[in-house]
Structure 1
Amino acid sequence: MIEVKVPATSANMGPGFDCLGIAVNMYNKFAVEEIENGLIFQGGDEKYNNEENLVYVAMKKCFDKIGYKPKGLKICIENDIPISRGLGSSAACVVGGIVCANELAGGILTRQELLELAVEMEGHPDNITPALFGGMTVSIYENNKVYSSSVNVKKGIKFCALIPDFTLSTEKARAVLPKNIEFSQGIFNIGRTALMIAALNNGDFHLIKQACKDKLHEDYRAELIDSFYAVKEECEKLNCLGVYLSGAGPTIMVMLEEENHDFCREIKKFLKSLQSKWEIRELQIDCEGTVVRHVS
């Protein structure tokens, strides 16, 4: 049996649209074994336990690339990453499925080949790369190749995910984005993306608030998220380092100093006053990425 653990991811990190991402310690776990025939699912949401299951689809894609044909499959799924909340649930399933299939077939593909196969499925690398490699990553996708590099984040920072009880599909969140942007908006985001990377790498955490600002996607998606600006404003009042829309949303991700033990308690009071229900998850950076175990 192959066991694979894949972390949740938070993409964009403010201005780094489709290129910045970070892995955090919330996980989906998959256990897969080859059986004599058929397709069996255990765990996960019943409505997804069929041949359209993203884990299974990703496994098939990997098997097709390698040329491996399993007799049958038993797939066990344990989900902790909430679906359609901007925390990389689909990326975790794609990475989990591809890695499981590769291991069953004998570990033929390299990590880079796994990365490119997963990004081909997902369409963009911002969640896939940190899910596979862990930590904070910068990645781009060009001519079916992924170019990526890890960012060394100085110690002293943690994250807090504010997760609402409503979902937002990536398709809907992308549909509201403009086809073109002003030149000045591009300059705005380039500068802040560079500042975000430098600030986290050097431990200049006081710069994160400025670095989190964005002109490419947040304001367009905010209209789809109940109380987005009210929550963001309250986070800033509570002295967070920075706050941004995680991926396509609707989760709002907050960056905090490690020793800040008051924020979660105070933001909980505020969130209770809103119409929607919000879950609060205090998180650390996951530096391992996807972990594989062979169980006899």
Structure 2
Amino acid sequence: MTLHDRFLIKVPASTANLGPGFDSIGLALNLYLTLEIEKHDQWECYSSCEELKDLPTDESHFICQVAIKTAAQYGIELPPCKIKVISDIPLARGLGSSAAAIVAGIELADAVGRLQLTRDEKLLLATKLEGHPDNVGASLYGGLVVGCYQQNEVDMLSFTNLPFETVVVIPKEILLTKESRDVLPDAYSRKKAIQASSTANLLIAALLNQNWSLAGKMMEQDCFHQPYREPLIHSYNDIETFAKRNGAFGVALSGAGPTVICFSEKGKVQNLKQALDMEFPDMTVKQLSIDYSGSSVNEVKELAK
């Protein structure tokens, strides 16, 4: 093996929507998808993570497919790689597992294929694959992101140094994004659209102004998706009520669900986590911080063997 033939790619999880920011607001969280990559004579993917063991082990693996197709768009045929996949992002739980995989595949193509893509170019590629920029944007940029995708362009801003933390409550059941999208209406009235967009606008203003009670109020007043999806999450109302009684200023579905994300000011989050742990022992409760770095790629420098 020669110098620079090994890479380490790390991509954070994400939560999207935060209530009314449907398909446009995302937040990077400190759970990670990590790829350990080395050039190889054939494509090989493997993982010791129980949840990932049934995924393909050859080039049909989703991450490999994203990487191969991305490189092909630039006229590059990627050399095969051996990839160890490590992830603490639960699958199909509303924490951006598919978005993280898309970003990881694009980063893999860029690193191994020497594409020299800018972050904005990676964002457009990822958004085209995902269909919206919230999760992929958060995983790429880190922090709180607000994005717009139209006419084959993505515009996005990322905000950092936000003094709140989160606790996620993860039910055991999975909820596929397609299933949760199927319950949404095909169209909204003008009155409903105005109400929904103004709620999202005020949510962002409240978060940046650190007006936590107003931010929580706007999360509850979403009309884009939560009223239709909450019935699919049997414990949502119980989690929301309990969390707000125990220090959360806001509660929302994480992405399409079923994970419920609770927002708390710094200093209050540990007590919130402990209370939720005791109240919902059959669910996984995690205290998470905002990831401000986004995806990273590092060459592992080794001497030739």
TM (norm. structure 1) is 0.94
8 Å Cα contact 1:125-1:139 kept in structure 2: yes
8 Å Cα contact 1:163-1:279 kept in structure 2: yes
8 Å Cα contact 1:218-1:245 kept in structure 2: yes
Asked if 1:42 corresponds to 2:46, the answer is yes
Residue 10 of structure 1: aligned partner: 15
8 Å Cα contact 2:124-2:154 kept in structure 1: yes
Task: Please report how far the alpha carbon of residue 264 of structure 1 lies from its aligned counterpart in structure 2 after TM superposition.
Answer: 1.4
Of the three residues 61, 64, 87, the one matched with 2:69 is 61
Check 1:152–1:46 CA distance in 2 against 1; reply closer, same or farther (3 A cut).
closer
Residue 186 of structure 2: aligned partner: 179
The aligned runs of 1:146-225 (5 Å cut-off) are: 146-155=154-163, 157-213=164-220, 214-225=222-233
Residue 72 of structure 1: aligned partner: 80
Task: Please report how far the alpha carbon of residue 152 of structure 1 lies from its aligned counterpart in structure 2 after TM superposition.
Answer: 4.1
Residue 289 of structure 1: aligned partner: 294
8 Å Cα contact 1:153-1:201 kept in structure 2: no
Residue 3 of structure 2: aligned partner: none
Following TM superposition, the consecutive aligned residue runs of length 4 or more in structure 1 with deviations greater than 3 angstroms are: none
Q: Kindly provide the amino acid, as one letter, of the partner of residue 36 in structure 2.
A: A
Task: Please report how far the alpha carbon of residue 67 of structure 1 lies from its aligned counterpart in structure 2 after TM superposition.
Answer: 1.6
The aligned runs of 1:226-245 (5 Å cut-off) are: 226-245=234-253
8 Å Cα contact 1:54-1:90 kept in structure 2: no
Residue 255 of structure 1: aligned partner: 263
Question: Deviations along 1:149-171, whole A, 9 cap, x unmatched?
Answer: 1234532x111111111100001
Of the three residues 279, 290, 293, the one matched with 2:284 is 279
Q: Kindly provide the amino acid, as one letter, of the partner of residue 278 in structure 2.
A: K
The aligned runs of 1:25-36 (5 Å cut-off) are: 25-35=30-40
**SS at the partner of 1:19?**
strand
Greater shift in the superposed pair: 214-223 or 182-191: 182-191
CA distance in 1, matches of 2:79, 2:115: 18
Greater shift in the superposed pair: 157-166 or 226-235: 226-235
Residue 275 of structure 2: aligned partner: 266
CA distance in 2, matches of 1:20, 1:282: 20
Of the three residues 123, 133, 155, the one matched with 1:125 is 133
**SS at the partner of 2:69?**
helix
Q: Kindly provide the amino acid, as one letter, of the partner of residue 126 in structure 1.
A: D
Q: Kindly provide the amino acid, as one letter, of the partner of residue 263 in structure 1.
A: L
CA distance in 1, matches of 2:44, 2:189: 51
CA distance in 2, matches of 1:190, 1:153: 25
State the number of aligned residues.
Answer: 290
- Give identity over the alignment, percent: 33
Q: Kindly provide the amino acid, as one letter, of the partner of residue 102 in structure 1.
A: D
The aligned runs of 1:75-90 (5 Å cut-off) are: 75-90=83-98
Q: Any unmatched runs of 5+ in structure 2?
A: 1-5
Q: Kindly provide the amino acid, as one letter, of the partner of residue 91 in structure 1.
A: A
Task: Please report how far the alpha carbon of residue 295 of structure 1 lies from its aligned counterpart in structure 2 after TM superposition.
Answer: 0.7
Q: Kindly provide the amino acid, as one letter, of the partner of residue 231 in structure 2.
A: E
Question: Deviations along 1:238-284, whole A, 9 cap, x unmatched?
Answer: 23110000000000000001111321121222213xxxx21111011
Question: Deviations along 1:127-173, whole A, 9 cap, x unmatched?
Answer: 00010000001111112211111234532x11111111110000111
CA distance in 1, matches of 2:79, 2:299: 19
Q: Any unmatched runs of 5+ in structure 1?
A: none
